[in-house]
Amino acid sequence: AQSVSQHNHHVILSEAASLELGCNYSYGGTVNLFWYVQYPGQHLQLLLKYFSGDPLVKGIKGFEAEFIKSKFSFNLRKPSVQWSDTAEYFCAVSPSGGSYIPTFGRGTSLIVHP
């Protein structure tokens, strides 16, 4: 079974700072990768996903993530955060194929100070 590790549980930044949230997974086969975001009081929503092609994936609101297969990583980045990026971020990994269940990391709480 696969597992997902998000190393940063809590991150506090000032506006305009750069962001990188770590996500590492363990699984020996082909995977699809996701980042979800949960804004305060809102439902989880898909931020971006990777399942093939260019390992640098761009998502909504200026976020991007890079899949580095050799490092089993899928880190989320944003060059300049805004106060509105305050949220909880979840990385998820799913072996390729419809019958596999995605595994979620425990989440990273990001607080951006104005």
Angle, CA of 27, 31 and 32, to the nearest 5° = 140
Q: How many CB atoms lie within 10 A of CB 12?
A: 11
Q: Is 69 left (phi over 0), alpha (psi -120 to 50) or beta?
A: alpha
- Shortest distance (Å) from residue 15 CB to another protein: 26
Among 81, 94, 110, 112, binds another protein (CB under 8 A): 94
- Shortest distance (Å) from residue 114 CB to another protein: 26
Distance CA 13, CA 16 (A): 8
Q: Which stretch binds another protein (CB under 8 A): 15-23, 39-47, 56-64, 73-81?
A: 39-47
Q: Is 32 in the site for another protein (CB under 8 A)?
A: yes
Q: How many CB atoms lie within 10 A of CB 10?
A: 10
How many residues bind another protein, per CB under 8 A?
A: 25
Residues of this chain that bind another protein (CB under 8 A): 32, 34, 36, 42-46, 49, 51, 90, 94-107
